[in-house]
Amino acid sequence: MTQILAVLWDSYKLLTAKKLFWITLGLTILIALIYASIGTYDQGVSLLFGVIKWKSDLINAQASFADHFYMKIFTDHLVPWWLGFFSIVLALISTTPIFPNFLDKGSVDVAISKPVSRTTLFLTKYIGSLLFVAAQVAIFCVICYLAQGYRLAHWSPQIFLAVPLILLAFSSIYCVIVLTAVLTRSTIFSLLMGLVMWGVGTIINGAEEGAYNYAYSPLKEIMRRSENDGQITHEIVQKISTPFPKIERLKTLLQDEVKLNGEKPDGYLDAFLNAMGADRVESAFNIQARQRHSLTYIIGSTLAYNFGVLGIACFFFNRRDY
């Protein structure tokens, strides 16, 4: 146990010794505080705790959907863009050097000479990298949780689902980086392969979604398409996409779970657009398309991918002579 804690401590010191760690942490706290600073007053919206104000007849403290507006900033912007993209990219840049540096001559020799199995050493190093991401996301969620409780007088503990979900999304990319590092010891090439995998997985899962929409769209009759048109294509694409991690879907799972008083904060958007003379009501088909995969399928296939790639990386780590 002492040796395991020593490996985790070494990973922590390696991360905190880099300026990028503190830059990432600072950005995380800054984005969360900016969100906390957003508020409404009688005549509009304020930012930076009232320092900056915009007058608005649509969004203000008197509007019935003001609370929904505040919650939707989190679910529709912070979740997909900050938590689901920028924070993952920054975390990848920060953690990618861990394994290549660990596998350098002089470093790995000392590590594997300790009375710890190579598998335990490998997994401990990997978990240490994940703890970095978990800490960043957890700090962000705590600030947003307190902000929503203060602004809305409503507490949403579902926000903390972001920690395991974003961690799983990050791990799905990072495991490829680790496998590449074990094989090549190259930091740049490892990061590149991780980003390529992320892109390929996103494209394949997007193709599956597009094939589903084409095959089962309620507009078939209008477009004069046959009942079975596109279904075979969708089945093929779905089988291809099954082994890949569902990174984008993990983010939408979090969006689906965060609710305001037991309801998804969607109602404000219809009211807001209707007030401007527009109309946007989510169709039953779009809801069906979004929920076409079960939670077990999304989490299970993503975990299976992670375990598979990590298993291969661990195999090569155990077999290689250092």
Nearest-CA neighbor of 7 among 176, 100, 109, 127? 127
What's the rounded Cα separation, in Å, for the pair 172 and 175?
Answer: 6
Q: Is the pLDDT of residue 273 over 60?
A: no
Contact 71, 148 (CB under 8 A): yes
What's the rounded Cα separation, in Å, for the pair 305 and 299?
Answer: 10
Higher-confidence position of 237 and 285: 237
- Residue 213 Cα distances to 165, 229, 298, angstroms: 26, 11, 18
pLDDT band at 97 (very low <50, low <70, confident <90, very high): confident
Q: Which residues of 43-82 are buried (b: 16+ CB within 10 A; e: fewer)?
A: ebbbeeeeeeeeeeeebbeebebbbbbbbbebbeebbeeb
Rounded mean pLDDT, 252-278: 57
The DSSP secondary structure of 28-69, one letter per residue, reads HHHHHHHHHH-EEETTEEEETTTTEEEE-SSSSTT-TTHHHH
Rounded mean pLDDT, 12-31: 78
What's the rounded Cα separation, in Å, for the pair 93 and 78?
Answer: 20
Q: Which of 10-14, 168-172, 291-295 has the highest mean pLDDT?
A: 168-172
